[in-house]
Structure 1
Amino acid sequence: MSAQEHPEPNGWRVFHATGSAPEVPPPLPAPPPWRRFRGGPAEPTPPDDPEAAQRRLGPGEITPQLGPDGIDVVNAALLLRRPLLITGPPGVGKSTLAYVISRELGLGRVLEWNVVSRTTLRDGLYVHDAMGRAQAIAAWQAGLREAGVREAAAGPAGAGTSDFSKSGQLPPVLGDFITLGPLGTALLPYDRPRVLLVDELDKSDIDLPNDLLHVLENGSYEVPELVRDAADSARVHTSDPSGRAHVVGGRIECREFPVVVITSNGEREFPAAFRRRCLPLEMRVPSREQLLAMVQGHLGERPPGTEDLVDLFVRRVQAGGTHSLDQLLNAVQLTTAGGFQSDGHGRTLMEMLLRDLAKGR
């Protein structure tokens, strides 16, 4: 039999938590029959954003934070085309995992949807600038009126010209005032999946997880304004810089279901119907060795005193405090400033940087 008929035992694992950019993006395993989509026409390959990835991951090598079980969960989500629901305390690298996946699999720029209490499903899908469109139409109509006045003044010689040529402008088109949100952009018909980070979903209104069910299940949605428009298709803006997309009939369906990374700080429980559609992954505070490696990966070095700061950070976390990796990186970075002394006033500043976030100020 052929090699395709006898795949390697670990062939379904395409993600290994290294975060290393591949020379050639690896192929993803085929989706199950019930997670195949037929959206089109295919959109061009999205842009990359290496600067954003470096801000999240640092310039050095990635320090793996997932064990074999966690890596298997990510690979299962990739194979089954299901969202990852990542839980854990603040600052342990939940949102960073989206950038690790994107870089390692060569999936381009990560789309971020930062959720707050006022966020609605429509915010993630698209925005219609109705006011801007109304102003553009009013300006266009004013141009027509001015052209009509000029034509009347010119007499019979100006007769017979169209309204468009009178004003020198085409009427505003609806697509120019539609911008797809991060979720809406991720569901465009790309040949390879986009990575969508839905950050801190537990801060949302109680209805948002339920509102997401249909979109996450069907991989499609409609823009009612475009459905009602007389034009059969439209060019709309996307969440990518200067991005435009072609929408036919007001309906958008993906070709490859996006890699959806949903983070939660555990501030609330999600409905069972929502959890059924996600694969759960819990991330824990990194170990001392991982923290030292992460500091070196972000800063490119291990400044003097790093071990003492990491030990202090670990003790405070183990004592039940709420701390973020950003606090540790800030504290270590400050020690590299010329002339900074960690005693006296410097010690007070360190205490402020490494304060317990659960205690407010």
Structure 2
Amino acid sequence: MQFTGTQDYVATEELQLAVNAALTLERPLLIKGEPGTGKTLLAEQVAMALDRPLITWHIKSSTKAQQGLYEYDAVSRLRDSQLGNEKVHDISHYIVPGKLWEAFTSERPAVLLIDEIDKADIEFPNDLLHELDKMEFYVYETQQTIKASQRPMVIITSNNEKELPDAFLRRCFFHYIRFPDQDTMQKIVQVHFPDLQQQLVQKALEVFYDLRDISGLKKKPSTSELIDWIKLLMADELARDVLLNKDTAAAVPPLCGALVKNEQDASLLERLAFMMRRQRG
């Protein structure tokens, strides 16, 4: 089965090719791109399109690779031994399966999302090389091998916060989600707001891309922030009228807090708008 996008997700031809190449090669798909470009959502939509269960492993700075395999709950076993519980003699009761274990033993081929892998320690990707390559791992406490009965599709996302090891990269099919151009973005907006008037869409996109082009902006607004902004404009008639009927080049866009996320960028917009008003005055 080939992935061609869904009615809720606009996938470019290049992204479709990347997903299908990873499926054919049976290799993890490593997705990079700006925050808010739909990397996590891609895994959800691939699972939906292929009719597979989605298993999500959100990575934090404290996450260890072992947690994705299994964890041994020694505290519970100690407590049960103190209470005289008979199950304490069977160590398997205290083995807690992780997300890889869950994906490997799924009744149907799953989509395993390892989300934001670059948040973890630099050794984290290397610690998963064998497991993702061979699709198996060994449980030392019970002396059993957990092997994937049906190979899951693995989608790994990264925000490029740190470089990933070469040995890990060699085992992945890589795709960088480029920020959507205006035509693609219009299709994305239409998916979320099919009944939105075209005048508002065009004006919102014009302001949005002008904002992204401002030199010195610390954090450029993303797709998800554009969607939030349009949702607010639809709910606020006054802000919508300001956007449609006033010169936005000489003013900070209405409800700008949905697009700009720090005080430096907010100050920059105010200064630029002030300078524009002085030039025209």
TM bucket (normalised to shorter chain) is: 0.7 to 0.9
- Structure 1 stretches of 4+ moved >6 Å: none
Q: Deviations over 1:87-119 (max 9, x none)?
A: 1111111122111211111112x1111112221
Correspondence for 1:354: 259
Given candidates 220, 227, 230, the residue that maps to 1:329 is: 227
Correspondence for 2:12: 66
What does 1:21-100 align with in structure 2 at a 5 Å threshold?
61-67=7-13, 69-100=14-45
Please give the alpha-carbon distance, in whole angstroms, between the structure 2 residues aligned to 1:272 and 1:358. Answer: 38
> What secondary structure sits across from 2:179 in the alignment?
coil
- Alpha-carbon distance, 1:252 to partner: 0.7
> What secondary structure sits across from 1:336 in the alignment?
helix
Correspondence for 2:56: 112
- Alpha-carbon distance, 1:82 to partner: 0.2
Q: Is the 8 A contact 2:5 2:11 kept in 1?
A: no
What does 1:1-361 align with in structure 2 at a 5 Å threshold?
14-19=1-6, 61-67=7-13, 69-108=14-53, 110-141=54-85, 171-172=87-88, 173-188=90-105, 190=107, 192-227=108-143, 250-302=144-196, 305-319=200-214, 321-337=219-235, 341-342=239-240, 343=242, 350-355=255-260
> What secondary structure sits across from 1:225 in the alignment?
coil
Q: Deviations over 1:132-176 (max 9, x none)?
A: 2322332345xxxxxxxxxxxxxxxxxxxxxxxxxxxx5355444
Q: Is the 8 A contact 1:65 1:290 kept in 2?
A: no
The gaps in structure 2 that reach 5 residues or longer are 244-251, 267-281
> In structure 2, do the counterparts of structure 1 residues 127 and 357 end up closer, same or farther at CA, with 3 Å as the change threshold?
farther
Please give the alpha-carbon distance, in whole angstroms, between the structure 1 residues aligned to 2:224 and 2:113. Answer: 19
Please give the alpha-carbon distance, in whole angstroms, between the structure 2 residues aligned to 1:359 and 1:205. Answer: 30
Between Structure 1 and Structure 2, which shows a larger proportion of helix residues? 2
Amino acid in structure 2 at the alignment position of 1:351: C
- Alpha-carbon distance, 1:349 to partner: 6.2
Higher relative contact order (CA 8 A, sep 6+): 1
Please give the alpha-carbon distance, in whole angstroms, between the structure 2 residues aligned to 1:261 and 1:104. Answer: 14
Please give the alpha-carbon distance, in whole angstroms, between the structure 2 residues aligned to 1:98 and 1:359. Answer: 34
Please give the alpha-carbon distance, in whole angstroms, between the structure 2 residues aligned to 1:65 and 1:189. Answer: 27
> What secondary structure sits across from 1:270 in the alignment?
coil
- Alpha-carbon distance, 1:291 to partner: 2.1
- Alpha-carbon distance, 1:356 to partner: 5.2
Amino acid in structure 1 at the alignment position of 2:104: L
- Alpha-carbon distance, 1:83 to partner: 0.3
- Alpha-carbon distance, 1:359 to partner: 5.7
> In structure 2, do the counterparts of structure 1 residues 189 and 220 end up closer, same or farther at CA, with 3 Å as the change threshold?
farther
Please give the alpha-carbon distance, in whole angstroms, between the structure 2 residues aligned to 1:280 and 1:357. Answer: 31
**Matched residues, percent identical?**
31
> In structure 2, do the counterparts of structure 1 residues 338 and 313 end up closer, same or farther at CA, with 3 Å as the change threshold?
closer
Correspondence for 1:5: none
Q: Deviations over 1:168-220 (max 9, x none)?
A: xx535544433322222112264x42101111111210101111111111101
Please give the alpha-carbon distance, in whole angstroms, between the structure 2 residues aligned to 1:139 and 1:221. Answer: 33
- Alpha-carbon distance, 1:324 to partner: 2.2
Cα RMSD for the two superposed structures: 2.7
> In structure 2, do the counterparts of structure 1 residues 100 and 215 end up closer, same or farther at CA, with 3 Å as the change threshold?
same
Q: Is the 8 A contact 1:111 1:194 kept in 2?
A: yes
> What secondary structure sits across from 1:295 in the alignment?
helix
The gaps in structure 1 that reach 5 residues or longer are 1-13, 20-60, 142-169, 228-249
Q: Deviations over 1:298-336 (max 9, x none)?
A: 345325733322222222234465222221111111123
> In structure 2, do the counterparts of structure 1 residues 70 and 333 end up closer, same or farther at CA, with 3 Å as the change threshold?
closer
> In structure 2, do the counterparts of structure 1 residues 15 and 357 end up closer, same or farther at CA, with 3 Å as the change threshold?
farther
